[in-house]
Amino acid sequence: MNILVINSGSSSLKYQLFKMPNQSPICSGLVERIGIEGAFIKHTSFKGGEKSVTEKSGSISDHAEGLRQVLFMLIDGKDAVIDSPDDIAAVGHRVVHGGEHFTGPTLITADVKAQIKKLFSLAPLHNPVNLNCIEVAEKTFPNSKQIAVFDTAFHQTIPVEAFRYAIPDQYYRQDGIRVYGFHGTSHKYVSEQAIKWLNKKQSKLISIHLGNGCSITAIKNGRSIDTSMGFGPLSGLVMGTRSGDIDPSVIFHLIEHAGYSLSQLSTLFNKQSGLLGVGGSSDMRDIRKLASDGNDEAILALTLYAYRIKKFIGAYAAILNGIDAIIFTAGVGENDSAMRAAVCSELDYLGLSLNADKNSSYTGGIMDVSADDAKTRILVIPTNEEYEIALQCYAMQG
């Protein structure tokens, strides 16, 4: 059974086509720099056991346009991997915000789309794009099942003391204001890999997802018990363009003393802050380059980014009452060994100590980069949100 998975994130669109239950895809790809200069598609096909890479650059105005170009490549182009749209049994869509309504993979209907739309304002960088991609896929694959897998689902196990804000009850009961948590598919996938790797079901883990969006989750015995993103994917860690935690008084101040409108505030905290706001680029590779040239703002951005992660590790070690392992994953977590070193420095009181050689020589796969005699493991685990989504869609086929 062929399952196509579409993972539209804030800065990119990733896709993989699986012949389930195989984990190795028939093809996979990435659309990057959507809506900005230098957009490109990298498509890798493994058809007939041969790896072939096609790269395409040119303007891609939005995620829907990127997806249309990708689907053309899958079905019609010289790199086509399927003969007809009907060869796809199901399309699995990453949808970032599912509110309290969706706790598992969900067959997409008109009502489900209306619910996703209701949550636009809570995940403005994500849900609108996710819905656009669903609509493009529905047109291209009219006979395939469309299934949504929500980032929020894995965090439904978070207990009340972690999901409620200390505001009057009515805001939770009537307006659903609570912590939802995001990147759940990624935290679920890497924590399950860690549990297998450690061979320890009763485990205390901290999963650190550092992509364009960043979040950290405390996982006890395979269940999420707290996470840094909240009502929307804006709180917690410093991200590519998002501020992470900020005192709400700043918002009152900007409204009262600088006349900010709602949309200006949303743009400021969602799109102009984080690495971009402090260091001049949302892309960690650019920040690293600037910092190595001695740029003070970029150096400050790196310092804030690592400090915030370290602070959350301390908090989550406290609520877990100790940790067996921490996991680094996603673009920065997997590729930036200097960030892992900065985060793990001076955390020896938690039994965390890196093996510098292992850390700097990491090139892929699951790897323990901690010192041999360390009490707590430091794992690098590549995330695979697409495969996790495909597994959940496959399980739904009964």
Ligand X SMILES: Nc1ncnc2c1ncn2[C@@H]1O[C@H](COP(=O)(O)OP(=O)(O)O)[C@@H](O)[C@H]1O
Ligand Y SMILES: CC(=O)OP(=O)(O)O
> Would you tell me which residues interact with Mg ion (CB under 5 A)?
9, 211
Alpha helices by DSSP H, the chain: 63-75, 110-118, 127-140, 160-163, 169-173, 184-198, 248-258, 262-271, 274-279, 284-292, 296-320, 330-335, 337-344, 356-361, 385-396
In the list ligand X, ligand Y, Mg ion, none, the entry touching 283 (Cβ below 5 to 8 angstroms by class) is ligand X
Shortest separation between residue 47's beta carbon and ligand Y, angstroms: 28
Q: Does 183 bind ligand Y (CB under 6 A)?
A: yes
Residue of 74, 137, 284, 323 interacting with ligand X (CB under 6 A): 284
Compare residues 96 and 393 and give the one whose CB is closer to Mg ion: 96
Structural contact between residues 159 and 103, judged by C-beta atoms closer than 8 angstroms: no
Token readout for 377 is 């493991």
User: Chain-centre distance of CA 217, in angstroms?
Assistant: 12
Compare residues 233 and 351 and give the one whose CB is closer to ligand Y: 233
Structural contact between residues 265 and 242, judged by C-beta atoms closer than 8 angstroms: no
Shortest separation between residue 154's beta carbon and ligand Y, angstroms: 12
Q: Does 10 bind ligand Y (CB under 6 A)?
A: yes
Secondary structure of the chain: what % helix, strand, coil (to 5)? 45, 20, 35
Active site residue 151: yes
In the list ligand Y, Mg ion, ligand X, none, the entry touching 324 (Cβ below 5 to 8 angstroms by class) is none
Q: Does 334 bind ligand Y (CB under 6 A)?
A: no
What residues numbered 114-153 form the site for ligand Y, per CB under 6 A?
126, 151
The SS3 of residue 84 is coil
Out of 62, 79, 151, 336, pick the active-site residue.
151
Compare residues 163 and 182 and give the one whose CB is closer to ligand Y: 182
The C-alpha atoms of residue 318 and residue 350 are separated, in whole angstroms, by 10
What residues numbered 312-341 form the site for ligand X, per CB under 6 A?
330-332, 335-336
User: In terms of DSSP bridges, do strands 214-220 and 204-210 run parallel, antiparallel, or are they unpaired?
Assistant: antiparallel
What residues numbered 214-253 form the site for ligand Y, per CB under 6 A?
233
Residue 285, annotated as binding a ligand? yes
> Dihedral angle at the C-alpha atoms of 252, 253, 258, 264, nearest 10 degrees?
-50
- Number of residues lying near ligand Y (CB under 6 A): 11
The C-alpha atoms of residue 186 and residue 274 are separated, in whole angstroms, by 21
Residue 32, annotated as binding a ligand? no
Looking at residue 373, the DSSP 8-state letter turns out to be T
Residues that bind ligand X (CB under 6 A): 9-12, 211-213, 240, 283-285, 288, 330-332, 335-336
Active site residue ranges:
151
Residues that bind ligand Y (CB under 6 A): 9-10, 96, 126, 151, 182-183, 211-213, 233
